[in-house]
Amino acid sequence: MGAKNGEYEHDYSTMAKNEHKVRLLGAWASPFVYRVGLALKLKGIEYEYMEEDLKNKSPLLLESNPIHKKVPVLIHGNNPVSEWVVILEYIEETWPENHLMPQDPYDRATTRFWSKFIDDKFIPTLGMVLKTQGEEQEKAMKEAEEALKTLKRGGLKGKFFGGEAISIVDISASCLSIWFEVLGEAIGTKFIDSEKFPLISSWIEEFTSIDLVKESFPPRDKLRAYHKSLL
């Protein structure tokens, strides 16, 4: 029996709606998931956030990211995109308004360099501080301090890493704000001293004063408790 015209119209409109639907699979404490969510908000893109239990991963996550089985995963319509850097570039190319990357090829390459530098130098530090104690933990913190000196010299160009507007480098460096601050509180230290790193400290203050940025952070007390549970 054939479907009525109204049913065809309903099916077509549902398919058209799903074609443009944006979903983000994530975990609330992940700085990588935060980066993607912030990029979507800065672009003004409506999306559905879906919290994953990483100890009991959903079939949707396993199907959408079968290789790494990790978050974040962006699903645009029926097309999944994984790995936060790849996702942010996909977002930039799909929704070009409110640019998060410069248009000049050299400047784009520089942006990619500093984003990778931040991930290579600071994200492992978070893991090492959580997993180690004593000399190993102190070594990780010293390495982070050296990386901060490099970032200060080469990466920070103005009010933001992108100059006067937030760029992907600022989004990458969001881990230096609440995540490093809360981890420092959890172990009784301070990662970023305002006297040693006044420019980085000023950037954190400027970046976290933006309502959209601030409202997107996970609850501070909950994040602190989470870090303490991992120590």
pTM above 0.75, yes or no: yes
Of the residues 75, 94, 113, which one is the last residue of a structural domain? 94
Looking at the domain assignment, is residue 166 inside a domain? yes
DSSP 172: H
Q: What is the pLDDT of residue 7?
A: 56
Q: What is the pLDDT of residue 43?
A: 95
Residues 140 and 169 both lie in one domain:
yes
Looking at the domain assignment, is residue 100 inside a domain? no
**Domain limits at 69?**
8-94
Here the CATH number for the domain that contains residue 71 is: 3.40.30.10
96: preceding bond cis by omega (within 30 degrees): no
CA distance 29 to 130: 14
pLDDT digits (tens, 9 = 90+) for 170-194: 999 999 999 989 988 888 888 888 8
pLDDT digits (tens, 9 = 90+) for 92-121: 999 998 999 998 999 899 889 999 999 999
Question: Under a CB-based contact definition with an 8 Å cutoff, are residues 58 and 72 in contact?
Answer: no
- Given a cut of 60, whether residue 4 has pLDDT beyond it is no
- Domains held by the chain: number: 2
Looking at the domain assignment, is residue 36 inside a domain? yes
Residues 21 and 68 both lie in one domain:
yes
CA distance 202 to 158: 10
Residues 6+ apart with CB under 8 A from 27: 33, 51, 52, 54, 71
Give the tokens for residue 53. 């239990």
Residues 67 and 23 both lie in one domain:
yes
Here the CATH number for the domain that contains residue 167 is: 1.20.1050.10
Residues 81 and 26 both lie in one domain:
yes
